[in-house]
Structure 1
């Protein structure tokens, strides 16, 4: 058992070191502001430093024509980014944590990017811990999930830029891990409260926590009062932000999103694209762009990975679906995994996907990165697919069972190489 633990620690540590190395290359080599909404996130932190208060989203903070011109011209020095303040409605936790970095390094963009990268490292570690909880006797799966989370190119690009996604994912994966560990409800409630203060995309965590709590109450693991212990601290923490928004934007704009919808004039709306492309055309664009941008569509969604890579990734998806089918046939996971773990993973995946679909009902936001709050379930899906194939090979060629057992680990070098390739053969040439 000690040997397994040591191998786990060494394996995750190596993945983490490679993640930090490649992530630093992304942070250094991605041109300034060539990451989604990075100037607006930067200006949020800058506002806190200069005004010692949180920003307020106002009319004029979003200018689609000016943003388009900035992107088209590559953010030239003569065009200021100071007008881009449309992320001012975001919850404040990430920006408050980044403020000392801004002050200590005199507003250095690179320093802030590396701060996000370190938060991303926490996501990798927490994902490995959650997977180790689910598959404590299967080291290849644990390491493979860690590598998948660490090296998906688009995810690595987001973790090495200035935005609140990294902190949001820390809250999400930490919350999932605590729920699966059956941690005390009030501790989970505090983490859910921090999620409320980080980003709306991880509000899904409170639903997962409630679903898990109801399951445990039904199974008589805990009392009904545990639900109250979960909700009271989370709602008290979240209420600080929601009450502030009511005072600033008026009732019932608890999240600032009603005001946001009025400010972001010119942002593409789904109803307009529906008229332009029709149901089928819009659906095809939605699916294709979501898939492409999950893996790698860099800059402001203008720099996709090479078509051959996307075709290979599509083929990989087919292989993984078949692998999961093979695994379900032998019912290995069904019999060995705690039902609570299944509930947490599947509810997380379902809620995040539904949230993504709901967002796209109003705005055209076909961006796979919005699915990253469920990156752990996606990673488990892909790794389970390879495990299905390894079980198939073990059955037919048992003499090599030890080799087949380690097949899922191929994700680690493959994803790492893919992320380096995407940087040097897609991102850097696009902005040269």
Structure 2
């Protein structure tokens, strides 16, 4: 009961997420989410054959993808180009598929439910860093839960929900490793290793959990109260996390190498060879030049991060994007102001930086403990890993989709929470309710987009 009272905002946030997400899942026409037919067919093949599928050249049919909102009677059973994906999400979906006779709505709701863990893990990550300021956690969780495009993706059928949930759990465990005194307890490290291993058999994007966990171990090993144990502690993290997680991923990697040859342990090389006709970055560079490609990368990424629905075929009104751009820029300025204020405060109050390592932070707008600074460094590292992975993916194929930045949602949402709360740092009574204002605003925005933009745009 005490935990419920302390964390009641999370209950409200998850309830809003489930209600609005269910509306998206129920009302969005069939197959009008990116790659949804291919993910659906993966599960259907498991149910029908009892074996995992293998990606083959005929799995991609040029001209079928993307499915426009005005396209009807598409032979979706021919879309099986996601057959290279790791199997965990689809295997978990098999009972739902079997019980509901392959109901797409039921499968969407199943994915939506998994996505609720993303929201919860994000909340507890920020609450772990700032235990005396849980309204920061509520603000961050609200943004992640009700970000329009993210809500649409979580309410569609694909493996993103489980991938993000496991990655968010890895971030949470890594943050706790930094913040807690018993960071290197065998049980904690084993759980983190298992989570990283499950990421290996969920989605390639979730492999970001490994560098996050190792960075968390490095930062935890630098604890001010145990400098002499830094290297042995870090070595223990590396051995346990790499060893146990690799044992979980190894059978999948061996299977992929045996099927696809070479060092293609993820099946990505075979996938790239199959999806002939997908636009490449080299082709766009020849057609538009570097400046043109970079502009399209920025514009499409920004728009689809906030909301570009269907198969990227339903953008928002330009005025809405302009308002979102203004909000984004203001948020960035506020966060940078918070960061600069903190640096100035540390210089002025350097004598107060020698507080005990486990001391509670008086205010996140003045001084951070060493552990809090390290935890925020971990989040920044996770964001950097995500951006680098996004850039690497776009070096070969044109994939200017903001959803590929969603593994960095926890760092992004934390930055938003710190920036906007800093604006009201002298009026904390207002700042602690910002999350509720954000929830009401985003919920209304989501409902407007669903009923006035998305469904009309899809002819539903």
- For the aligned pair, the TM-score class normalised by the smaller chain equals over 0.9
Asked whether the 8 Å contact 1:390–1:407 carries over to 2, the reply is no
Check if 1:355 corresponds to 2:355.
Answer: no
> Could you say which residue in structure 1 is the equivalent of 2:174?
179
CA distance in 1, matches of 2:32, 2:26: 12
Check if 1:99 corresponds to 2:94.
Answer: yes
Q: How many residues align?
A: 420
Check if 1:270 corresponds to 2:281.
Answer: yes
User: In the alignment, which of 102, 120, 124 is matched to residue 125 of structure 1?
Assistant: 120
Asked whether the 8 Å contact 1:270–1:360 carries over to 2, the reply is yes
Asked whether the 8 Å contact 1:45–1:95 carries over to 2, the reply is yes
TM alignment of 1:16-415, pairs within 5 A: 16-68=14-66, 70-71=67-68, 73-74=70-71, 76-77=72-73, 79-182=74-177, 184-219=188-223, 220=229, 222=233, 224-331=235-342, 332=365, 335-336=368-369, 338-391=372-425, 394=426, 400-415=427-442
List gaps (5 residues or longer) in structure 2. Answer: 178-182, 224-228, 343-364
Give, in angstroms, the shift of residue 410 of structure 1. 2.5
Cα pair distance change 1:52/1:333, threshold 3 Å: farther
* 2:311 partner SS: coil
CA distance in 2, matches of 1:97, 1:72: 30
**Which digits, 9 at most, give the CA deviation of each residue in 1:242-266, with x for residues without a partner?**
0010111112111101111110000
**Which digits, 9 at most, give the CA deviation of each residue in 1:401-420, with x for residues without a partner?**
52245335422212222111
Give, in angstroms, the shift of residue 194 of structure 1. 0.3
> Could you say which residue in structure 1 is the equivalent of 2:445?
418
Asked whether the 8 Å contact 1:144–1:410 carries over to 2, the reply is no
Cα pair distance change 1:333/1:413, threshold 3 Å: farther
Asked whether the 8 Å contact 1:185–1:227 carries over to 2, the reply is no
Give, in angstroms, the shift of residue 421 of structure 1. 1.4
* 2:29 partner SS: coil
> Could you say which residue in structure 2 is the equivalent of 1:15?
13
CA distance in 2, matches of 1:26, 1:429: 13
RMSD: 1.7
Cα pair distance change 1:35/1:239, threshold 3 Å: same
- Bigger mean CA deviation after superposition, 410-419 or 218-227: 218-227
CA distance in 1, matches of 2:366, 2:380: 13
CA distance in 1, matches of 2:156, 2:264: 29
TM-score by length of 2: 0.88
**Which digits, 9 at most, give the CA deviation of each residue in 1:154-176, with x for residues without a partner?**
00000001000000001100011
Asked whether the 8 Å contact 1:352–1:373 carries over to 2, the reply is yes
